[in-house]
Amino acid sequence: MNPTGPGRFDVEAIFDAVNLGLMIVDADGYILLWNEWIAKRSNIERADALNAQIIGVFSEPLAPAFRAAIKNTLTYGLPAVLSNALHRCPLPLYDSAEMQQSGIRMHQSITITPIRSRLGERCCLIQVADASISIKREKVLRSHSEVLRRETITDSLTGIYNRRFFDEHYKIALGHAKRQSHTLSVFVVDIDHFKEYNDYYQHLEGDRALRRVAKALKSQLSRATDVAARYGGEEFVLVLPSLSAPSAADFAEKLRCAVLDLAIPHLKSNTSDLLTVSIGFCTWAPDTDCDPVHLLHRADAALYRAKQKGRNQAVAFTLAELEDTDTPPMGKLDIVL
């Protein structure tokens, strides 16, 4: 026998050795090939499957998409792919007896290819691959991607959004407010005498205070469109759509009280014996002629005024006060729009 000739290997042994299911079905739907992979996962022996109808060999109904794909391949000679993304489990195949008892099918990717027999008959080759590993890998990748996304937009110390996220969200919020003609309010919050707090209580307590303040501010948000972010150091910024000017004033006071209610001692404060915040805010309304692009700067200037007036309070500026020269912005809130 020629060692390189076709008779050196048993073709059936090769079919059984491959790590995927193989079936061949003739033009009348009878099974001509049924390899060991399929036999093991269907719990149907080869002897019981060969020369049986593909439609009736399984004890459970076949997916309509699978039946239609076989019909098109046998009738028109068209190849077909049943991807796992659209057709999770077309065939009743199981990884184990336990999964079969619980009715949990194996995830599958199926390819159906037209072939001709030596007699010229049109048949189809059905290849079934276990897609479970691909599904698990996809879930892991999605999970890693989500973790990376959260790390990119989240402040590592406080757990709320960071400046990078806020800068992008702020641009979107401005455009949406103008297009939808609804109000937009910006609040800039700064912890009073925080350097003195850090120096006296040390940085670990300073970090703990930042986390508690961030949580208190975020707890006041009630809508998915409301955003709170740490803008840097002891400064926070919030953006809320669809608030009237009086409602924005009420909300600013809620923020101030939420931090005060934490009752964090601050013996080195010239304002209070508790940790306090100063707040500047500004609201744009669509019925004004002012451009909302200056909202953040006006809120920042209002914060400066709140500090000038003694801290532990909220001050509002309007966009019409853009040229107010005795309340310059603090210089940390520059965004290129």
Give how far Cα 289 sits from Cα of 284, 293, 320, Å. Answer: 10, 12, 9
pLDDT at 322 over 70: no
**Active-site residue 235, yes or no?**
no
Tens digits of residue pLDDT in 141-155 = 777 777 777 778 999
Tens digits of residue pLDDT in 283-318 = 999 887 777 788 999 999 999 999 999 999 999 998
Mean per-residue pLDDT of the chain: 89
CATH ID of 154-321, from 3.40.1390.10, 3.30.70.270, 3.40.47.10, 1.10.3720.10: 3.30.70.270
Q: CB of 309 within 8 A of CB of 315?
A: yes
Look up the CATH superfamily of 6-137.
PAS domain (3.30.450.20)
Nearest to residue 26, comparing CAs of 159, 126, 131, 141? 126
Domain ranges in the chain with CATH number 3.30.450.20: 6-137
pLDDT at 4 over 60: no
Domain ranges in the chain with CATH number 3.30.70.270: 154-321
pTM: 0.61
Single out the catalytic residue among 45, 196, 234, 253. Answer: 234
Report the pLDDT value the prediction gives residue 61, as an integer from 0 to 100: 86
Tens digits of residue pLDDT in 76-135 = 999 999 988 788 889 999 988 787 788 889 999 999 999 998 888 999 999 999 988 777
Task: Report the percentage of the chain scoring pLDDT > 90.
Answer: 71
At 104, phi and psi to the nearest 5? Answer: -95, 105
